[in-house]
Amino acid sequence: MNYFGIDVHSTYHKVVGLTADGKPLEFDIPNTREGKEKLQELMLEHSPCAVSMEACTGAYILYDLLEPVVERLRLLHPADFKKAFGKKCRKNDRLDAQALCRAAKLEMEGIWVPDEQVRQRRQLSTKRVSLTKRSTASKNSVRSTFREYHISIAKDPWTVKGMKALRERLNKLPATVALTVEIELKLIETYAGCIEELDRRMAELAWGNEQIELLMSVPGINYYSAFVIMAEIGTIERFSSAKQLVSYAGLCPSINQSGKSATRHGSITRAGRSRLRWIMVECGHIAGRFAPKLQRLKWRIKKRSGVTNIATVAVARKLLELCYHILKSGKPYSEAIPEKHEAKLRKLEGKAKVREVA
């Protein structure tokens, strides 16, 4: 078996190898179409071989390229790789590729690699979250500017009527300040249009998806939330238990333990898919109000801890466990309200078929 470590870069890839008889190899492969073909030929020439790379921008493309010609291929999580090989006093591409080569020889476990469909869905949900954050930042900027000049605005000024009222109040601001607010208002409108387009595409992909429709039976989870959850999970079959899925989201409590001393549970680990953790907490806010079991859990934890956020995170963890069992069993939530579930599905259908009508 030959071993290779590939340090991935935007312009070229540093490849360091070690043959079965201990002969070192080193190559600089340009990140071009011809370079990728050369890299594939190199792996075929030294077959059978094991390859390790860090998970980073461009690594998925190389993974798809090398998977058919490599016997064992691993994408390593950067944090796990750094923890295993420690902090180096010097850092350069050759040393990184050598460490990756050693990881291949030691058969270090890599991350799960999603297929192209899951990657595209993750990219869609990532862009949706990013645009929402930018839109919120612009809205907060507009609110703070009007507040600074003691100009009252509506409680929800982002409707068509509300935006018109905001523009009518611009003449009360200094000219330069009014210009910056007008730019923010244009950005808000642009973001709203882009978000609507992304929502429509997500609805098209979600419509007819049995797993997403099952998740929508849970109070607090609509098609957007269910789409993000499934994009982050990928496939439920790769999780052997609900606890494993909760750990993947970083929603499990940390444990402090040593010898015979008492075991103490701390805050959540936050180690895992941050977007899955975020969407579950967002859904937990709603589920804690409308799902009876989760509502009782929230009030019980809140009464015991005295902190609302701790109770919400506990609801998010339980909600993710419910999602696991729903997806595994293929049955809707036991306390689902059929009328509300049907209303969600009708809304999803209407959103998905807007483009067809147009």
Local mean pLDDT, 10-residue blocks, the chain (358 residues): 95 95 94 94 95 95 95 94 82 93 95 95 94 96 96 92 95 96 97 96 94 95 95 95 96 84 82 93 94 94 93 96 96 92 94 66
- Are both 162 and 55 inside the same structural domain? no
H/E segment holding residue 54? strand 49-54
Residue 67 CA to residue 70 CA, distance in Å, equals: 5
What is the pLDDT at residue 261?
A: 75
Q: Structurally, how many domains does the chain consist of?
A: 3
Is residue 31 assigned to a domain? Answer: yes
Which of residues 81, 105, 129 is at a domain's end? 105
H/E segment holding residue 276? helix 274-290
One-character DSSP codes across 302-356: HHHH--HHHHHHHHHHHHHHHHHHHHHHT---TT--HHHHHHHHHHHHHHHTHHH
What is the pLDDT at residue 358?
A: 47
Contact between 26 and 11 under an 8 Å Cβ cutoff? The reply is no
- Are both 8 and 46 inside the same structural domain? yes
Is residue 128 assigned to a domain? Answer: yes
Is residue 110 assigned to a domain? Answer: no
- Are both 178 and 312 inside the same structural domain? no
Helices (H) and strands (E) in the chain, counts: 15, 7
Is residue 129 assigned to a domain? Answer: yes
What is the pLDDT at residue 44?
A: 95
What is the pLDDT at residue 354?
A: 65
The pTM (predicted TM-score) of the whole model is: 0.90
- Are both 202 and 121 inside the same structural domain? yes
- Are both 189 and 86 inside the same structural domain? no
Which of residues 105, 124, 147 is at a domain's end? 105
Is residue 59 assigned to a domain? Answer: yes
Is residue 189 assigned to a domain? Answer: yes
- Are both 221 and 349 inside the same structural domain? yes
Is residue 245 assigned to a domain? Answer: yes
- Are both 271 and 234 inside the same structural domain? yes
- Are both 303 and 244 inside the same structural domain? yes
- Are both 217 and 178 inside the same structural domain? no
- Are both 60 and 149 inside the same structural domain? no
Judged by phi (left if over 0) then psi (alpha if -120 to 50, else beta), residue 306 lies in: left
Q: Could you tell me the CATH number of the domain that includes residue 40?
A: 3.30.420.40
Residue 269 CA to residue 172 CA, distance in Å, equals: 49
Is residue 111 assigned to a domain? Answer: no
Q: In terms of residue numbers, what domain contains 144?
A: 116-206
- Are both 38 and 101 inside the same structural domain? yes
- Are both 189 and 241 inside the same structural domain? no
Residue 3 CA to residue 107 CA, distance in Å, equals: 10
Which of residues 85, 105, 125 is at a domain's end? 105
